[in-house]
Chain A
Amino acid sequence: MKKTLEWIMTLMLTASLALAGCSSSGNNAANTDGEGGDKPIKLVWWVHESPSFVEANKKLIADYKKVKPHVTIDLQVFPYDAFVQKIRVAMNTKTPPDIVQMFGTWVREYAKNGLLEPAPNGAELEAEVYPAAIGGFQYDGQVYGVPHEFNIENGAALRYPKMFQEAGIDKDPATWEELIEDAKKLTKRNGDKITVRGLDITSNDSIVFYFLALIQQQGADFWNEDRTQVSFSTPEAEKAMQELVDLVNVHKVTDLSKLGTTEEPYMVFFKGQSAMTTAGPWTIAEGINTFNVQDFDYMPIPSFTDHPAVFSSESGWGEVVSKQSPNSQAAWEFVQFMMEEENALAWNLQTSSIPANKHVAEDPKYLESAPHVKAAVEALPNGRWIGPLADRDYFFKVIIDTFAAIAYNKKGLQDGLKKAETDINKMLKSKQ
């Protein structure tokens, strides 16, 4: 019996030792003397899941290996939802990831709490990068990280020219009214059910971008003067929300069956279940590589009014370096490497995202190699930074939920918008 005891004890001991071994092979194994040299350094880099982004990131790692063979970069890929939560949880521990490919709008929250290293070349970045792309990275006179892309999610739409032909439409819509008319013609039904959506801008994040853009295109704003509180109880906001709800309930060019699911509008589009949908240019790479779809193009979307088609844009994906990182210098070196014009361009081309750096975006070479993003590049001057949203995902969720409640007739237009305004303002007050 005693032997069995010893045996079990040994087993437990070895197992826990093995476990301890496994765990310390993670972040802790990173070399702590951060001073480059030729000692091996291990950097942990967190990114979100998106096939073309992951591929582009892997390529950067492989290229960097050639320049600095002693630096190993451990790429960790997270689904978007988990990513949002995990960086929040991990950044304030003693072993955060060294580099995070963070969404620009989130950066403020971490910068404010002193969890990020400011960029050594902040002033230079402010001069070179589009204001909407860098806005989210700025806090208190410093730039915390380097943006990779100009995130643009509206202003242009994916569409199937073939479906336009079949519906007898021979020119692109020039006004909002024409857009709606075309959408009606493009919508296909089987009984009551929509099989092909004419214009799909009422799923998930699209709703928010359109809601904000339609307000701005009426010449109004949703922020107060100093951007500390929002206002959705204006006639402009009501008109904007009503228009989106009408797409579902009056014009019936789309429905609510994909709302809140993991099937993003661009996936629905590439499965052939919508004729037109707004999406960022990055979805082009997804369509070609993941869905094997070729016969689509990218067209500008007309303004809701006579005003220019302005829209709110977030600061897109970019690199930040953790303050707690023992290898922050090596981490910055890698970030700088990524931002060298040649590498940045390759990254933007592979992900079909819009360069954050003005030089890169305005270089004719860029449009030559990426003709399909033309509509997005032309829309760039209309893009404005969305503003300090504090908790970005809460902000978006409240608007999406409000839209759903109004579209399902669970809430009145004014009540719903008032509630959204109150909820968002409460969050802004406690977190901004």
Chain B
Amino acid sequence: MRTKKRKLSYSLLFTALLIGSLLMFVPYLWMVLTSFKSNSEILTASNHLLPQKPTLAGYKKVLGEVPFFRWFLNSLSTSAIVTVGAMFTSALAGYVFAKFRFRGKRLLFVVILATMMVPFQIVMVPMYVIISKLNLVNDLSAIVIPYLVSAFGIFMAKQFIEAIPSELIEAARMDGASEFRTFWSLVMPQIKPALSALAIFSFMAAWNNYLWPLIILNEESKMTVPLALVFFNGQNVVNYNVVMSAAVLIMIPVVIIFLIFQKQFIKGLTMTGFK
């Protein structure tokens, strides 16, 4: 009796989750289906889920008339630099904060941590002012430089490096290794898992960032993917099949990369929550 009831509730749970996850998938399905609709079908406001006369016109427009690959490249290169930079600076600063003693260390660390709490809305105007004084408005480096350091990354790296026994580091120094050498070949490998988690985080944050690029980048050729998509959307209010085609092209590589690295991804994500 009891097992029967259990079986029933299990299959109920299973069905509920299945329906739920299918519902989660609807927007993607909609995006793909709409991308194959023709211009006139969209204009006549017809109520069909499936494209009546499937066409590749939307994709042709995206690949032919706008600098789509440029946008992709912009996003990829800036996100990659931000990721590498943030990993490196976080590990370095984390190491210094974890294993060295100097005056003002505690204060400095607390100040850096406190910047995490500050909403972006309060720094965006001054950051804009600073960037325009540096003459970097509409320059891709404006979306790279401010993100080369990460308070969260430093915090995480410090936690992990503190767990490395100090004797190990002392021993390396005794062997005559330079400070940087010790950091690079002893400390870095030890905190690899933390660094890969951080890499995932920084990359996602940089890739998905919308507000700052929106403020600081002007020209179409400088835009990153999310910004360009919204911009493109504004230019094609009427024929949003084109916008959906661009969205599909943007999502596919992201989804593939995610499916490949899924395990590391989820492991990294949980790590940021627990250390």
Q: Bound complex: CA of A272 vs CA of B44, how far in Å?
A: 8
Query: Is there an interface contact between B222 and A26, defined as CB atoms closer than 8 Å?
Result: yes
Q: Bound complex: CA of A93 vs CA of B221, how far in Å?
A: 18
Residues of A within 8 A of B85 (CB): 12
Q: Bound complex: CA of A18 vs CA of B219, how far in Å?
A: 18
Residues of A within 8 A of B189 (CB): 1
B10-18, B95-103, B132-140, B167-175: which lies at the interface? B132-140
Kindly provide the distance from the CB of B156 to the nearest chain A CB, expressed in whole angstroms.
Answer: 20
Residues of B within 8 A of A76 (CB): 218-220
Q: Bound complex: CA of A172 vs CA of B84, how far in Å?
A: 69
Q: Bound complex: CA of A19 vs CA of B221, how far in Å?
A: 12
Instruction: Specify which of A11, A19, A26, A92 is in contact with B144 (CB 8 Å cutoff).
Output: A19
Residues of B within 8 A of A246 (CB): none
Instruction: Specify which of A11, A26, A263, A267 is in contact with B219 (CB 8 Å cutoff).
Output: A26
Q: Which residue of B lies closest to A50 (CB)?
A: B235
Residue B78 interfacial (CB < 8 Å): yes
Query: Is there an interface contact between B135 and A94, defined as CB atoms closer than 8 Å?
Result: yes
Query: Is there an interface contact between B184 and A89, defined as CB atoms closer than 8 Å?
Result: no
Instruction: Tell me the residues in window 181-236 of chain B with beta carbons closer than 8 Å to chain A beta carbons.
Output: 184-185, 189, 215, 218-222, 231, 234-235
Residues of A within 8 A of B222 (CB): 22-23, 26
Query: Is there an interface contact between B140 and A5, defined as CB atoms closer than 8 Å?
Result: no
Kindly provide the distance from the CB of B188 to the nearest chain A CB, expressed in whole angstroms.
Answer: 8
Q: Bound complex: CA of A5 vs CA of B219, how far in Å?
A: 35
Known A-B contacts A22-B140, A76-B220; the reply to A267 vs B135 at CB < 8 A is no
Residue A359 interfacial (CB < 8 Å): no
Q: Bound complex: CA of A219 vs CA of B135, how far in Å?
A: 51
Kindly provide the distance from the CB of A91 to the nearest chain B CB, expressed in whole angstroms.
Answer: 11
Instruction: Specify which of B139, B141, B185, B220 is in contact with A77 (CB 8 Å cutoff).
Output: B220
Query: Is there an interface contact between A15 and B218, defined as CB atoms closer than 8 Å?
Result: no
* Interface residues contributed by chain A, number (CB under 8 Å): 40
Residues 155-184 of chain B: 1 if any A CB is under 8 Å from the residue's CB, otherwise 0?
A: 000000000000000000000000000001
Q: Which residue of B lies closest to A19 (CB)?
A: B140
Residue B259 interfacial (CB < 8 Å): no
Residues of A within 8 A of B144 (CB): 16, 19
Query: Is there an interface contact between B234 and A81, defined as CB atoms closer than 8 Å?
Result: yes
Kindly provide the distance from the CB of B214 to the nearest chain A CB, expressed in whole angstroms.
Answer: 8
Q: Bound complex: CA of A1 vs CA of B222, how far in Å?
A: 35
Query: Is there an interface contact between A292 and B40, defined as CB atoms closer than 8 Å?
Result: yes
Query: Is there an interface contact between A26 and B221, defined as CB atoms closer than 8 Å?
Result: yes
Residues of A within 8 A of B231 (CB): 78-79, 82
Instruction: Tell me the residues in window 83-115 of chain A with beta carbons closer than 8 Å to chain B beta carbons.
Output: 86, 89-90, 92-95
Q: Which residue of A lies closest to B215 (CB)?
A: A89
Residue B81 interfacial (CB < 8 Å): yes
Q: Which residue of B lies closest to A11 (CB)?
A: B84
Query: Is there an interface contact between B135 and A18, defined as CB atoms closer than 8 Å?
Result: no
Query: Is there an interface contact between B185 and A1, defined as CB atoms closer than 8 Å?
Result: yes
Residue A382 interfacial (CB < 8 Å): no
Kindly provide the distance from the CB of B69 to the nearest chain A CB, expressed in whole angstroms.
Answer: 13
Query: Is there an interface contact between B139 and A23, defined as CB atoms closer than 8 Å?
Result: yes
Query: Is there an interface contact between A93 and B235, defined as CB atoms closer than 8 Å?
Result: no
Query: Is there an interface contact between B77 and A26, defined as CB atoms closer than 8 Å?
Result: no
Which chain B residues have a beta carbon within 8 Å of chain A's beta carbons?
40, 43-45, 77-78, 80-81, 84-85, 88, 128, 132, 135, 137-141, 144, 184-185, 189, 215, 218-222, 231, 234-235, 237-238
> Can you report 27 A-B residue pairs in the complex whose CB atoms are below 8 A from each other?
A1-B185, A2-B184, A5-B184, A12-B81, A12-B85, A16-B141, A16-B144, A18-B77, A19-B141, A23-B222, A26-B222, A49-B235, A76-B220, A79-B235, A81-B234, A82-B231, A86-B218, A89-B137, A89-B218, A90-B137, A90-B138, A93-B135, A93-B138, A94-B135, A262-B234, A290-B238, A291-B43
Additional 15 contacts, C-beta under 8 A, given A93-B138, A262-B234: A8-B84, A15-B80, A18-B77, A19-B81, A19-B141, A22-B140, A76-B220, A78-B231, A79-B235, A89-B137, A89-B215, A90-B137, A90-B138, A270-B43, A271-B44
